[in-house]
Amino acid sequence: MINTFDVIVVGSGIAGLSFALKVAEAGKKVAIITKKNSAESNTNYAQGGIAAVTSRSDDLEMHIRDTLDAGDGLCEPLAVREILRDGPSSIDELVQRGVAFTQLEDGRVSLGKEGGHSKRRILHVKDVTGKAIEQALLHAVDNCSLIETMEHHFAVDLITAKKISAECLDKSDRILGLYVFNEKTQKVETFAAPAVLLATGGIGQVYEYTTNPSIATGDGIAMAYRAGVEVCNMEFIQFHPTAFYTTQAERFLISEAVRGEGAILRNLEGEAFMVQYDTRQDLAPRDIVARAIDAEMKKSGARHVWLDVRSIPLATLHERFPNIYEYCANQGISLEKDMIPVVPAAHYLCGGVKTQLNAKTDLTGLYACGEVACTGLHGANRLASNSLLEAVVMAKRGAVAVLEDLAKTYHQPQSLPDWIDGDLHDSDERVILTHNRDELKRTLWDYVSIVRTDKRLERARTRIEVLEREINDYYWDSKVDVSLLELRNMIQVSALIVQCALERKESRGLHYTLDHPKKSERIVESSLQAY
């Protein structure tokens, strides 16, 4: 049986939900495919807030300048201007959907400041902004009869005209739907639609230490690449400077907004070290702060540095950062007298599926927005809190484009081939998946993290190639499940990261290599496409 919709959305974060609502409110039948619960997304874990010009002391040109500066020469100026320009109206729409941004006693919106920003412009809901936005959007989705949300459904691969017909010419290729693994039935189902939006989030799980939830395995990027869609700038991985130090793989984020309120980074000797690295000190852009912390740790052999919040009034900590305060308390850290142990952790991908400013990719009918997409806004390094803004702005732009495209042409539902599964292997062979996943994550962390060299990258590539051969053999012979599908995507994405990193013979933004420490005069995007 084929499940037929007007539009299919893969992912249930701020980008996917915002897009689905816009399209459904225009009368289209929408399916939201999400591999976990609807609320499980990177959006849900976003603490800091959403950046937009909403104050009279701020202006668009300042926000543009800060974004371009953080992006280290690789931002697309038109994308920066248009996305940031649309920010305030997108904020208004979130408010209309029920997002209650924190206000001051006089009724004005409370604005935070984060690294790289010259003004206070970060709207927030205390330190749970992403969760508040997610809940408001999910409530709206639940009340929309034209949206069907399918939890615990894993998008396996895109179905394109070229894939199902050897006679299809490249120029006529278009999206027809996708194959989806239903965890409940353990079967792969066929979904048909003339338009598909990828809103699958990031890739943090390819690293041993990350602030991302377990779902961030790069599924959308891998699917798009396998379908011949262009991806770019995959080498630019943002490591958040301040994740709570723990031996656990998933590390709790200590929002940059804490430093915006006056917190200071100190080495194990108690010295405030950021003054040695940048004039903006603790509020320098994330790439600079992460490298500074990495340098201090290597210099002393320490496993972490300290974040000193003791100068921030206790009332501010309780009011502005209740979630962080509670987490630290549960870890035995009293913020009024103790410092927080912090380390960098993989946080955000600035590259991804190449899109236009209407969320279109180079495959007809396929759209992308949110962290999975590369619009040109972030360049070589994302300015803090621009990500939620980009997601909601591009979701709106993408919805407009989809509705226009659907209105132009009537799409006759097609008969799509059923999924053909492999043979079931003995259960004891599943240990291969766990072993290879752990090895992949250690490889990326050891060789493709904050500071890189050509030799480290080549080592990573060699090992990833072996893992890729092993998992492809396993994939074609076995019945699929979530662990297999995720690992396949993680290996694909890791290969793309390493390939882009090897091609960039310079240090720029988040890509810093000891072999090529200077910036090239020639500014280019890295670009990859499977044919």
Active site residues: 286
Of 365, 363, 374, nearest to 401 (Cα)? 365
368, two tokens: 């992308």
Of 86, 54, 39, nearest to 389 (Cα)? 86
Helix axes 14-25, 129-142, angle to 10 degrees: 30
Residue 25 class from Cβ within 10 Å (0-12 exposed, 13-18 middle, 19+ buried)? middle
Q: Show the beta-strand stretches assigned E in 294-359.
A: 305-308, 340-349, 352-354
> What does residue 11 show for φ and ψ, rounded to 5 degrees?
120, 145
Radius of gyration of the chain (CA): 22
CA–CA separation, 48 and 44 (whole Å): 11
Contacts of 247 (CB under 8 A, 6+ apart): none
CA–CA separation, 205 and 249 (whole Å): 9
Of 424, 17, 2, 379, nearest to 176 (Cα)? 2
Residue 373 host element (H or E): strand 373-374
287, two tokens: 């790439």
Q: Can you tell me whether residue 150 is helix, strand or coil?
A: strand
- List C-alpha distances in Å: 275 to 296, 302, 303, 345: 13, 19, 21, 22
Kindly give the pairing relationship between strand 122-123 and strand 50-51.
Answer: antiparallel
Output the CA torsion 265→52→370→280 (10° steps).
Answer: -20
CA–CA separation, 287 and 74 (whole Å): 14
Strand order in the sheet with 305-308: 237-244, 340-349, 305-308, 264-266
A 10 A CB-CB count for 161 gives 18
